[in-house]
Amino acid sequence: MIYVLYSIVLVICVYTGRHYWFTLNRLFGFQRHPYIDIDTADWPPVTVLVAAHNEEKVIANILDALMTVKYPADKMLVIPVNDRSTDRTREIIDKFVEDFPGRIQSFHRIEGKGGKAAALKDAMELVTTEVILIFDADYIPGAGLIKQLVAPFFDLEVGGVMGRVVPLNAGTNLLTRLLDLERSGGYQVDQQARMNLRLVPQHGGTVAGVRLSALREIGGWNENSLTEDTDLTYRLLLNGWKTVYQNRSECYEEVPEVWPVRIKQIMRWAKGHNQAMVTYGLHLLLGKHRATLRERIDGTLLLGVYAMAPITLLGWALALGVFYEGVAPLHGVIALLSLTAYAALGNLAAFFEIAAAARLDGTRKRVCLLPFLILGFSVSIFSVSRAAFSQVSDLITGAEFHWDKTERFRKVL
Amino acid sequence: MNPYLAVAALVFMVSLMFMLPLVPALLELRRKSDALPLNVVQQHAGEIRHFANSFRTYIHGLEAILQHCVASGSTATGALPDGEEYVVLGRADEPLLLALEERDTIHPVLIAAGVDLVVPPEATFSRDIYAGGQFIGGEKNNYRAILGEKNVHLGVSSRVMRWVHAVGQFTADLGCKLYGRVSSDSLIRLHAECSFLRLNAPRVEIGHATGNSNPTPAEASNGPGTPSRFLHDGDFEVKAGEVFGSGMVIRGNLHIRSGARICGSVKSTQDLVLEDGVAVEGSLIGARRMFIGPNCTIHGPVVAERELSIAAGTRFGTLDHPTTVSAPRIEVEEGVVAFGTLWAREYGQVVASR
């Protein structure tokens, strides 16, 4: 039992070190923003796909914003992918198509498999441009965002691009404020450090882009994936394409305002991520492909992020068990120290990352909320563990994954 | 001590220690003093002319005074609503210019001229300048910012701290230091020993450009639309005069020999060297240092992640297909022409042609 615990502590220490490495790189290392200065170019035609499933509360905002971005109007086509909506989404989209002829093309999907990947896959029949950008319907792109997301595609090695997500409803309540901090840590530090260190920035599936030829080469959207973004990241990587992160390409989004919605969201992410881990993990680490050694290691660690929650829970249980079982004193002390070390360092590493992100963002007081992150952390660890267990039980019982859309909170226009 | 009391005291102390870090958290949660969404620029796209446009809007209130001064050949002074003091000049040989002619002085007023403006040498202008006509600056001047509705010419060894925009041509004489943004609606010309950061104009000339001044449209960039690519792990060399039929991604050093032509975009994850007369129809991306030899023609964006050295006679983009050349540090020889943007994030330097 103690050796299992040692192994768990070792893995936790690796993740802790990773957090510190990323944070220190972000604070003191060389920052890579290679494509952000491309402001003049022969801009290529681009298709913007807006994934929409029952989005009457938000769809008009994003279509409005896209019609005012600074990108040659004759080179940008917006396709709202209306996936079997039962609310007013279709009506709103059709009104925009009417108001902006030639600039918005509707795609109303009335049947087929559920999920964003399946909807995007069907919408590909309308896409003819080499560069495709993807937004979820609750996002509000700024005037310069489209150019910024297109610019990296001038690099022939780039297959995918990811921008930064910023919560618009950050100040609503404790949950949104905690999610705001988490997003800061995740993007401002984690993603940018991976970009700096030439590791594996993750494609987020929204505020993002993909190269059509790369997408075709890897077999298109995987409709069986619960998180098509993670799936896309790894298939691009395994086929010699890079995903790049653009920290200065920021876009507002709406984060969940109630805990049940947040729990559902993180459980879906966990399931999708774990699904990708099972599918690509071993091949990424040991297989024959074009990823570099550092990409193999970082990519594997990234795949294991959501598996760490149940592993940590198991570690806690084992540590307590070992302690109360009264194993050899030395072992008992080591086990106790291990547990304490995790509590002191492991948690703090993530907190340190978020605090550094808050500083880099130039915020002042929101970092005071850091202690409350223990609440978000606790909810996450149990939700993600629950997702992992249900995934295993689904595997045994043969139950199918199903896709849960995240509820919106914006007032209907 | 009563053991129950001791336990209670212990619980109280532990609770207190646990709660202590939550006090500022609870206060912030209640006060919401820093709860607004992070500021994401929604309205503009980082255009180089942003400050110039804002300044034009800012001094819009002086338009009537400017017109009056030009019509009457007079001068006006005053303060804008935010308290900013100004001098409006209606004549080029304006008497108030006498005050500006004192050497080594600092002029802490906004200067708006409805006519051509010729400023004396060795002066510091710590507020923005608006020139309705030509702007001609003396030697060794220091400027904060200049907006010129016609040509703007800076004398030898002048410095601009923030930005310059010329509706006409912009010219910087020998040894000028341009710390901010420089833009023109027609042409920018920098002479030797000038340093720069961000330049944008339909045509940017470094020194006196010679040879083919505008590559033919037939050689236009094919940008990210290029679907085919040659992917190679390790160092690679393109032979002299070779025509390479697709784009290339080289995971190593790349050396392109004289006269080679790449019918697509080029990426190297390490150093990238282009010899004399190389033509690249797409973009040129280097993850480390990049050396572009003389008389090369690059049609798409050029990005070097560390350093970029450009030799005389090289052309970037065309008038119809402007592009961006970007690197943290750029050293560019006289005789180079870029159509579009030349952007040195940390430091750009013009050097004499070798």
Q: Which among B42, B231, B283 is the top mutation candidate for probing chain A, defined by the most A β-carbons within 10 Å of its own β-carbon?
A: B42
Side-chain-side CA neighbours of residue A394 (13 Å): 12
Q: Do A156 and B269 touch (CB under 8 A)?
A: no
User: What is the pLDDT, as a whole number, of residue B218?
Assistant: 42
On the CB side of A248, CA atoms within 13 Å amount to 15
Q: Where are the domains of chain A?
A: 1-34+177-200+256-407, 35-176+201-255
Q: Does the CB of B19 have a partner CB in chain A at under 8 Å?
A: no
Distance from CA of B91 to the nearest CA of A (A): 38
Q: Is B283 on the interface with A (CB under 8 A)?
A: yes
Put simply, whether B35 touches A (Cβ < 8 Å) is: yes
Q: Return the residue of A nearest to B21 by Cα.
A: A371
C-beta atoms of A45 and B282 within 8 A: no
Supply A65's token pair: 């914003």
- Please give the pLDDT value at position B353: 82
- Mean pLDDT for B12-33 is 89
pLDDT of the residue at B96: 47
How close is the nearest chain B Cα to the Cα of A199, in Å?
14
Task: Kindly give, in sequence order, each residue whose CB lies less than 8 Å from that of residue A401, ignoring residues fewer than 6 positions away.
Answer: A224, A226, A271, A275, A394
Query: Which residue on chain B is closest to A360 by alpha carbon?
Result: B38
Write out pLDDT tens, residues A216-249: 999 999 988 888 999 999 999 999 999 999 999 9
Would you call A372 and B29 a contact, using CB atoms and an 8 Å cutoff?
A: yes
Q: Does B267 touch chain A (CB under 8 A)?
A: yes
Which one-letter DSSP state was computed for residue A104?
Answer: B
Q: Which of A51-55, B333-337, B350-354 is predicted least confidently?
A: B350-354
Q: Kindly report, residue by residue over B94-149, the tens digit of the pLDDT.
A: 544 545 555 556 677 778 888 888 888 888 898 999 999 899 999 999 999 999 99
- Would you call B32 an interface residue with chain A, using a CB distance cutoff of 8 Å? yes
**Residues whose CB is less than 8 angstroms from the CB of residue A392 and which lie 6 or more positions away in sequence, other chains included:** none
Distance from CA of B33 to the nearest CA of A (A): 7
ipTM: 0.88
Domain covering A35-176+201-255: architecture: Alpha-Beta Complex (3.90)
What is the value of pTM for the model shown?
A: 0.90
Cβ separation B38–A170 shorter than 8 A: yes
Q: Which of A38, A75, A132, A168 to mutate to test the interface with B (most CBs of B within 10 A)?
A: A38
Q: What is the DSSP letter of B48?
A: T
Which residues make beta-bridge pairs with B255? B237, B273
Six token digits for residue B245: 């039929």
Instruction: Please give, rounded to a whole number of angstroms, the shortest distance from the CA of B116 to a CA of chain A.
Output: 31
pLDDT at B43: 72
* Residue whose C-alpha is closest to residue B335's, from B289, B299, B293: B293
Residue A79 has pLDDT above 90, yes or no: yes
On chain A, the residues whose CB falls within 8 A of the CB of B32 are 171
**Sign of the CA dihedral with B245 first, then B246, B250, and B256 last:** positive
Contact B33 A174 (CB under 8 A): no
- Residue type at A350? A
CA–CA distance, A83 with A90 (Å, rounded to integer): 9
Contact yes or no for B305 and A371 at CB 8 A:
no
| Closest Cβ–Cβ partner in B36, B221, B341 for A42 | B221
Confidence tier at B60 by pLDDT (50, 70, 90):
confident
Residues of chain B contacting residue A174, judged by C-beta atoms under 8 Å apart: 29
Question: Does any CB of chain A come closer than 8 Å to the CB of residue B29?
Answer: yes
Mean pLDDT, residues A339-364: 78
Residue B220 above 50 pLDDT?
Answer: no
pLDDT at B130: 93
pLDDT in tens, B176-195: 999 999 999 999 999 999 99
Helix (H) or strand (E) segment spanning residue B125: strand B124-125
Chain A contacts of B303, Cβ < 8 Å? 34-35, 37-38, 154-155
Phi-psi region of A92 (alpha: psi -120 to 50; beta: other; left: phi over 0): alpha
Interchain pair B326, A37: CB under 8 A: yes
SS3 labels along A218-252:
CCCCCCCCCCHHHHHHHHHHHCCCEEEEEEEEEEE
**Chain A residues touching B33 at Cβ < 8 A:** 364-365
Q: CA neighbours within 13 Å on the CB side: how many for A147?
A: 22
Whether A30 has a pLDDT exceeding 60, the answer reads yes
Contact yes or no for B249 and A131 at CB 8 A: no
